[in-house]
Amino acid sequence: MSIKNEIKAKIIETDWTIKDVAAELGKRYNINYSPENLSNKLRRQTIQYQEVKEIADIIGYELKWVKK
């Protein structure tokens, strides 16, 4: 599964929308963070790790590194 699909699936599973997540990211970063901007970053796979961590936190997840 691609990063884009994985993140979008988790957002949907938790009853959030891209629009709501983008709005919350905008509040946290104190910038205008549009849903289009978030979708483009996911599509192009240019999203920053810190943004992924913030998205996980927003939707109620915690990212962990687990040794294989």
What is the pLDDT tens value at each position of the chain, 68 positions in all?
788 999 999 999 999 999 999 999 999 999 999 999 999 999 999 999 999 999 999 999 999 999 99
Contact criterion met (CB below 8 Å) for 55 and 28: no
Rounded to two decimals, the pTM is: 0.90
Number of structural domains in the chain: 1
| 37 is a domain residue | yes
Helices (H), 1-68: 3-13, 18-29, 35-44, 49-58
| 66 is a domain residue | no
Query: Among positive and negative, which fits the CA dihedral 44, 46, 52, 54?
Result: negative
| 52 is a domain residue | yes
